[in-house]
Structure 1
Amino acid sequence: MAHVATARTKARKRALDLLFAAEARGLSAGDLLDQQIAEGQVPNNPFTVKIVRGVVTDAERIDALITAFAKDWSLTRMPAVDRNVLRIGVWELLDGDVASEVAISEATALVTELSTDDSPSFVNGVLAAVAKDLARA
């Protein structure tokens, strides 16, 4: 089945663009989002804002979970796209607004489109391990 681009899928891609751009510029994603909103570049979907603010707010816990389950990969060693897609995916798992399967599927689809050939299985594996751990908690 082909991946259908829903409004939330587009919001995740926009959030990824913001997180990636902020990291590349050495800025806080929250600051970049605030700057864009101040300049009238408000994201079309409020879900984009919710994702970015959530990832920024929970950054320490999100990065700790990624680090714990990304076997033999440090955050700095990961491709920037993978690192930021994982942050979005882990935030969605923590947020609980969508089923973990949906969060994992959406993250995997993003890296399939935007990253390396190895990225989908890597991201899927890390997020599945995080989801399993959170389910035990």
Structure 2
Amino acid sequence: MNRRKSREIATRLLFEMSINKESYVDIIENFRENTEEKIEDIDFEYVIRVLKGVSENEAYINETISKYLVKWKLERLPKMNLAILKMASYEILFEEDIPNKVTINEAIELAKRYGDDNAPSFINGVLNNLIKK
């Protein structure tokens, strides 16, 4: 199973949750039924853990992210940037077996792929400040 691919899927599903206002259970079920991704390449245990963890701890994660936003409000962030920040913040705060530097590097790669030109440096700055707490 590919953790990078699973992390990307988790982030895309967090983005979808923010748009569709669906539960993580419904989002995952819909993804499994309609995906063209190779299922065997995805660590669904990880994806479910991230989506469930972000859902159950959303207020805390949002509050934590908000502390490190400079001249931004959480609700004004592009939804994909917020999804990347939520995934990475969840990993930093709750997944002790994943090194913070790995999480940040993966978040930057997702920002390069899905964000605007400023997204990688913005996400890097927020997450680096978060790990210094």
Could you state the TM-score of these two structures normalised by the residue count of structure 1? 0.83
Distance 1:129 1:30, change over 3 A: farther
Taking only aligned residues, the RMSD between alpha carbons, in angstroms, comes to: 2.0
AA of the residue aligned to 1:117: D
Distance 1:32 1:74, change over 3 A: same
Whether the aligned pair in 1 keeps the contact of 2:61 and 2:89 (CA below 8 Å) is yes
Could you state the TM-score of these two structures normalised by the residue count of structure 2? 0.85
Distance 1:78 1:37, change over 3 A: closer
Cα distance in 1 between the residues matched to 2:31 and 2:112: 29
Whether the aligned pair in 2 keeps the contact of 1:67 and 1:74 (CA below 8 Å) is yes
- Per-residue CA deviations over 1:58-113 (Å, capped at 9, x if unaligned) read 11111001111011111111111100100001001012221111111111110111
Whether the aligned pair in 2 keeps the contact of 1:30 and 1:56 (CA below 8 Å) is no
Unaligned runs of 5+ in 2: none
Cα distance in 2 between the residues matched to 1:103 and 1:22: 21
Q: Which has the higher contact order (CA 8 A, sep 6+)?
A: 2
Percent of matched pairs sharing the same residue: 29
AA of the residue aligned to 2:115: S
1:68-107 matched pairs, under 5 angstroms: 68-95=67-94, 96-107=96-107
Deviation, 1:28, is: 3.0
**SS state at 2:132 partner:** helix
Deviation, 1:29, is: 3.0
Whether the aligned pair in 2 keeps the contact of 1:23 and 1:29 (CA below 8 Å) is no
Size of the alignment, in residue pairs? Answer: 126
Q: Counterpart of 1:3? A: none
